[in-house]
Amino acid sequence: MAGITDHPERHRFELAVEGGTAIAAYELAPGTMAITHVVVPAQAEGQGVGGRLAAHAIEAARTRGLKVIPACPFVAAYFKRHPELADLLAH
């Protein structure tokens, strides 16, 4: 599996996986990154790909000094499983 790549012109992070490309889509606004959805091809489900993308997107927001709006249920659940990231949540 190759690394995760940011494609700002498409507003998403991409990861080549079995069955296609997994994505974490985002929208930027002043001070925030809304992660709008995470999509993983069926062949790659259950392998931690979505979590890897979510973690990468959240870390990218931290690096950019942004707060995260978990606009999709998967990312909201990721934050619940990782309370140590609560400082990055936009309120």
Q: Which pLDDT band holds residue 91 (cuts at 50, 70, 90)?
A: confident
Whether the per-residue pLDDT at 15 is higher than 70: the answer is: yes
Over the chain, what HEC string results? CCCCEEECCCCEEEEEECCEEEEEEEEEECCEEEEEEEECCHHHCCCCHHHHHHHHHHHHHHHCCCEEEECCHHHHHHHHHCHHHHHHECC
Stated pTM of the model: 0.93
Reported as a single tens digit per residue, the pLDDT across 23-72 is 999 999 999 999 999 999 999 999 999 999 999 999 999 999 999 999 99
Mean pLDDT over 8-15 rounds to: 97
